[in-house]
Structure 1
């Protein structure tokens, strides 16, 4: 028996965001938001997951949204890669979900709370030991709450969870264990099978129960994640190497121009620092560029020299946007249309 990885966006939305996943999501949210207390008795899954019916279907699977008890909206997101500006995106999505509740002219009293629940496969807060951290608005000096229930940001950092199967005590422990280890399991552990919602989650995650199109989509997304991880590692390493080389050259040149020993030392030090920074930035961009082109050609076929050139001229921010959209292109025409729309918007 094999299970899909709930840490991928596709699998996460299938398990927790399907139309028949209501009981699973209630148990999951009560465990992570309310320490397993039955605060949430009912919920509505907004924009539920639907299995793809045709090859190349476009769906970003970004998050799961639900309306829970108290008219609160919860945005649940699984994030595998620690990408640039990820933290700002969480803030943007939460505030957007909060603001779009009102139509023009409506009273602010109609606004309902929003909770952003983010599960990460990397450490976000290295100075905190807790697996689950919670953030609300507070006064800076006296830590007085400012509308504490209106916007909440809750993070679950999977790498910090190190309990073994035998050490699981609470429902919260069991759900986090499921998220972290389901892909590596070959059967449902008895410690988890006793929870009906977890048992159902394993059934949905069972690869044997997936449609062929879903398995294909899942494989593409897992390859994408692995390629992204490799590209980030390689780009950082190459950027460091190139930055050090350029920094030394620049430092020596500056030092010689000054003509004194102290100047050489200072020049080398400053040059290394500047070179490392520039080299890392250029190296990461080049690594992302190569990765995106490789993924595009794997998905839609060989790219012309003109397309290569147009992609190479994108800014770092535009390249980031293309990386997020790469799996949405079913044909070369889709890519060309996307690039043209990007040009027209600037």
Structure 2
């Protein structure tokens, strides 16, 4: 038995964002956002469709959106590449989700809270030891909460999770283990198989249920991610602009200019110039 990698866009949305994934997503969010408490009773998965076959930066991150029974909006993203200004993008997407609730003429009283849950395949806050970090608005000097604290950012840094299978204690431990290691497992762990939501998640993730075309698409997405991780790591390790330019040149046929600038750290102007050079060659 082999399982698809839940850190790829197609697999994550198939497991957590498809029409039959409601109970799985409820368990997942209760574990990571609400400390394992059964806070969410029901939710609606927004746009429960699998992502299209697209080349480009969209293949390096993904999202599932849900509306909880109390109206709270949640966006869930897994980020596999540590691109420039990623933290700003998370905040922007959360603020956009919060602001775009209102229709023309509606009052602010109709706004519901928005939560951005982000799982990173790199250390977002390397100077901190916390596995799960939560951010809300607080008064700067005394630390008390803002009156309408309607935007919350939650980060789960997968590299900081080091527990083995027999050390899993909480529901959060189990879901993080699933996210990090499902791809390398050959069977459903006994201590997870007994839980209905995990059994269903593993069944959806079972490669045996996919068509050859779906498997080929998944392999393509994984290879794309690994290639970009290697290219970015090489550019950063060498620490020279010329190395960054070489990486950018290799990406010109795969990403748009803005995505290349984010991935390499080059300015958008430099990337545009490189593309012009390629077109003139």
Determine the C-alpha separation between the residues in 1 that align with 2:55 and 2:252: 17
Q: CA deviation at 1:50?
A: 3.6
Q: CA deviation at 1:58?
A: 8.0
Q: CA deviation at 1:211?
A: 2.5
Task: Identify if the C-alpha distance between structure 1 residues 191 and 125 changes in structure 2 by more than 3 Å, giving closer, same or farther.
Answer: same
Larger relative contact order, structure 1 or 2 (CA cutoff 8 Å, min sep 6) = 2
Secondary structure of 1:10's counterpart equals: helix
Q: CA deviation at 1:165?
A: 0.8
Determine the C-alpha separation between the residues in 2 that align with 1:50 and 1:229: 24
Given the two structures, how large is their TM-score scaled by the length of structure 1?
0.71
Secondary structure of 2:176's counterpart equals: helix
Q: CA deviation at 1:215?
A: 1.4
Task: Identify if the C-alpha distance between structure 1 residues 200 and 19 changes in structure 2 by more than 3 Å, giving closer, same or farther.
Answer: same
1:286 pairs with 2:227: no
Equivalences for residues 133-172 of structure 1 within 5 A = 133-147=133-147, 149-172=149-172
Deviations 1:290-318 (CA, angstroms, capped at 9, x unpaired)? 1343x58xxxxxxxxxxxxxx8xx5xx36
Counterpart position of 1:93:
93
Secondary structure of 2:78's counterpart equals: strand
Equivalences for residues 238-317 of structure 1 within 5 A = 238=238, 240=239, 280-293=240-253, 295=254, 317=258
Structure having the higher helix fraction is 1
List gaps (5 residues or longer) in structure 1: 241-279, 297-310, 324-338, 340-346
List gaps (5 residues or longer) in structure 2: 265-274, 276-281
Q: 1:319 aligns with which of 257, 260, 263?
A: 260
Deviations 1:259-317 (CA, angstroms, capped at 9, x unpaired)? xxxxxxxxxxxxxxxxxxxxx34422331321343x58xxxxxxxxxxxxxx8xx5xx3
Secondary structure of 1:65's counterpart equals: strand
Secondary structure of 2:214's counterpart equals: helix
Equivalences for residues 30-179 of structure 1 within 5 A = 30-50=30-50, 60=58, 62-147=62-147, 149-179=149-179
Secondary structure of 2:208's counterpart equals: helix
Q: CA deviation at 1:106?
A: 1.4
Q: CA deviation at 1:148?
A: 5.7
Counterpart position of 2:8:
8
| Count of equivalent residues | 262
Counterpart position of 1:18:
18
Q: Is the 8 A contact 1:136 1:148 kept in 2?
A: no
Deviations 1:127-157 (CA, angstroms, capped at 9, x unpaired)? 2211111000111111121146400000001
> Which has the greater radius of gyration?
1
Secondary structure of 1:225's counterpart equals: helix
Secondary structure of 1:63's counterpart equals: strand
Determine the C-alpha separation between the residues in 2 that align with 1:132 and 1:321: 25
Task: Identify if the C-alpha distance between structure 1 residues 58 and 137 changes in structure 2 by more than 3 Å, giving closer, same or farther.
Answer: same
Determine the C-alpha separation between the residues in 2 that align with 1:212 and 1:149: 47
Task: Identify if the C-alpha distance between structure 1 residues 85 and 51 changes in structure 2 by more than 3 Å, giving closer, same or farther.
Answer: closer
Counterpart position of 2:279:
none
Given the two structures, how large is their TM-score scaled by the length of structure 2?
0.86
Task: Identify if the C-alpha distance between structure 1 residues 178 and 148 changes in structure 2 by more than 3 Å, giving closer, same or farther.
Answer: farther
Q: Is the 8 A contact 1:131 1:156 kept in 2?
A: yes
Counterpart position of 1:220:
220
Determine the C-alpha separation between the residues in 1 that align with 2:131 and 2:259: 34
